């Protein structure tokens, strides 16, 4: 968290940038339209109603899969077995796929 002095300093820097470089401001506005802001689940949604997706919102299955993948990677590294390491990498990639394709769940998740 920023204190009041730091917030005022940041606000003055933002105001200076707005006046000194309008092309930079236009570039950031176009980025904001292309990629909506991420909103913390406990915070209210933006005016557009956008929220973000995360590993936590995917549910327990991807979290457990990721834990298993990390254990495989550690076991493979400890034993020097390349096939176990490759299995851990494949499992981690599958976890990303499951997390990306699963429906978002309401609530705070595991965080």
Q: Is 94 domain-assigned?
A: yes
Expressed as residue numbers, the domain containing 67 is 53-105
Pick from 111, 108, 68: nearest CA to 76: 68
Q: Is 59 domain-assigned?
A: yes
The rounded distance, in Å, linking the Cα atoms of 103 and 65 is 16
**Digits of tens for pLDDT over the chain (111 positions)?**
678 888 898 888 888 888 888 888 888 777 777 666 555 555 545 444 545 555 556 678 888 888 999 999 999 999 989 999 999 999 999 988 888 777 665 555 444
Q: Is 21 domain-assigned?
A: no
Q: How far lies 41's CA from each of 18, 98, 108, 111, in Å? A: 30, 21, 6, 11
Residue 84 structure tokens: 């176990």
Looking at the structure of the chain, the number of domains it has is 1
Q: Is 57 domain-assigned?
A: yes
pTM, entire model: 0.45
Task: State residue 56's pLDDT score.
Answer: 58
């Amino acid at each position: 968290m920023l204190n009041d002095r730091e917030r005022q300093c940041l606000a003055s820097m933002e105001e200076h940038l707005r006046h000194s470089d309008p092309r930079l401001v236009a570039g950031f506005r176009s980025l904001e339209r292309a990629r909506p802001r991420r909103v913390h689940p406990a915070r209210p949604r933006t005016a557009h109603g956008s929220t973000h997706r995360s590993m936590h919102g995917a549910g327990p299955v991807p979290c457990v899969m990721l834990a298993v993948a990390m254990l495989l990677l550690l076991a493979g590294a400890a034993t020097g077995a390349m096939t176990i390491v490759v299995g851990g990498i494949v499992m981690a990639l599958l976890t990303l796929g499951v997390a990306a394709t699963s429906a978002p769940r309401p609530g705070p998740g595991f965080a």
